[in-house]
Structure 1
Amino acid sequence: MKYILLSLLAYFSGSIPSGVWIGKTFKGIDIRTVGSKNSGATNAYRNLGAVYGIMTLVIDALKGYLPLLVASKMGVSEKYIVVIGLIAILGHSFSCFLNFKGGKGVATSLGVFLFLAPKAIGIATLGFLIVVFFTRYVSLSSITAAIILPIMTMILPAKDGVDKLTLSILSVFIGVFVIYKHKTNITRLLNGTESKIVFKK
């Protein structure tokens, strides 16, 4: 029963469409109808402004982090705590509040790996920031981080209470999943039509 409840918590937490709800509440905008039409933090940043974009990013990351924090307090197994993280990410990308559609999973993956593998996600985030600084392409930066993360996860020691093999498998799956979700961005990058991020004050 404990594992069922934690799985439901992870899914519904991940499913919270923060960008959509923030846009409608504060700006009267459904971000699924503007820009890239994605419900994630990047589209929120572009169309709602820096404050609400960052708010979306933080909430999306917490959607992945908090279920793991709760699970760790309840003494779940080293393998299943990784599964909880996967469920939260899938909840974000296949939200029951958005007809089982959603974002690309980057921000929620950030929250999950901040808990499960903070050193690995720290290096991946650094790679993201370097690429976005020099290129202004968030999509390319996300793809770069998705490549770095599984490599660092396999190289670095696992966090106490986390099964290394299960974590490594998750990191590879999430890396491939994030890259797949960016397939249209990859096409635009190759065609030279991808939009660049403009840093807002």
Structure 2
Amino acid sequence: MMLPILLILAAYLIGSVSTAILTCRLLGLPDPRTQGSGNPGATNVLRSGGKKAAIITLAGDLLKGWLPVLLARLLGLDGPALALVALAAFLGHLFPAYHGFKGGKGVATGLGVLLGLHWGVGLASLLTWLAAAVISRMSSVGALTASLLAPLWIALILGDIWVTLAACVMLVLLYWRHWGNIRRILDGSEPRIGQKANPRR
């Protein structure tokens, strides 16, 4: 009983590490929370700090979702325990303990969680994101589409109801965090890939 609790706590604390903020500090770049959209994530770092900082941020956010879930699987967790570890890592990114519980939108960390659950789930979600992003030329559309289909990939590939439910919770939270993007998509003002974001919109 103690092991699952420790892993859930560790997943949240690992997820709470803001790769975007740390990367920008190490590279001498402005705090991403004060630039562009204000979101401490790879897309905003790309717009305000360049490709190198964005790649590091993306890799770190993926890793902090992937590592706790993979560790939990290797230690034999499944069902509700594994689902809670996955959800804890995701919640850590959205509500980080180290940054006043104000974090990113969860796209890269969510993908890391999916990769940790099963490489097939992660690959299917990544391909979904790429297809939607290329067609729309909007990163947010890719993220929203991939998260919408993630529970389906989990149900088909893993067949675990608890993990599927956790993915549904992640989906709701991700859409909530992207509500501003959804409104801009609907009114046609959402920035395209490679286009500067309007500050604080």
Calculate the TM-score normalised by the size of structure 2: 0.90
Which residue does the alignment assign to 1:188? 184
Q: Quick check: 190-199 or 28-37, which moved more?
A: 190-199
- Structure-1 separation of matches of 2:170 and 2:77: 21
3-state SS in 2 of match to 1:27: coil
**Over 6 Å off, 4+ runs:** none
Whether the 8 Å contact between 2:23 and 2:57 is mirrored in structure 1 is: yes
**For 2:97 and 2:186, how far apart are their aligned partners in 1?**
33
Structure 1 CA distance, aligned partners of 2:178 and 2:39? Answer: 11
Are the counterparts in 1 of residues 112 and 122 from structure 2 also a CA contact under 8 Å?
no
Q: CA deviation at 1:62?
A: 0.7
Say which SS state the counterpart of residue 35 (structure 1) adopts: coil
Kindly state the Cα deviation for residue 31 of structure 1 after the two structures are TM-superposed.
0.3
Task: After TM superposition, give the deviation of residue 171 of structure 1 in Å.
Answer: 1.6
2:153 matches 1:157 = no
Structure 1 residues 58-107: Cα deviation after superposition (integer angstroms, max 9, x where no partner):
11011011112222333334431221010000000000111001011111
Deviates more, 1:131-140 or 1:51-60: 131-140
CA contact (8 A) 1:27 1:48 kept: no
Shift in alpha-carbon separation, 1:61–1:185, aligned structure 2, 3 A: same
Contact 1:46 1:197 in 2 (8 A): no
CA distance in 2, matches of 1:122, 1:74: 23
The equivalences for 1:15-164 within 5 A come to 15-154=16-155, 156-158=156-158, 164=160
Instruction: Please list every run of 5 or more consecutive structure 1 residues that lacks an aligned counterpart in the other structure.
Output: none
Percentage identity across aligned positions?
Answer: 36
CA deviation vs aligned residue, 1:21-51 (integer Å, no higher than 9, x gap): 1112203310000010001111111111111
TM-score by length of 1: 0.90
| Distance in 2 between residues matched to 1:157 and 1:145, nearest whole Å | 15
Aligned residue type for 2:177: K
Q: 2:169 aligns with which of 147, 166, 173?
A: 173
- Are the counterparts in 2 of residues 71 and 81 from structure 1 also a CA contact under 8 Å? yes
The count of corresponding residues between Structure 1 and Structure 2 is 194
Letter in 2 for 1:179: Y
Equivalent residue letter for 1:148 = L
How far is 1:179 from its partner? 1.4
Q: In the alignment, is the contact (CA less than 8 A) between 1:64 and 1:85 conserved in 2? A: yes
Contact 1:23 1:30 survives alignment (8 Å): yes
- When residues 192 and 134 of structure 1 are mapped into structure 2, their CA distance, relative to the original with a 3 A threshold, is same
Tell me the amino acid that sits aligned with residue 171 of structure 2. G
Q: Judge conservation of contact 1:82–1:116 (CA < 8 Å) in 2.
A: no
Moved more, 122-131 or 82-91: 122-131
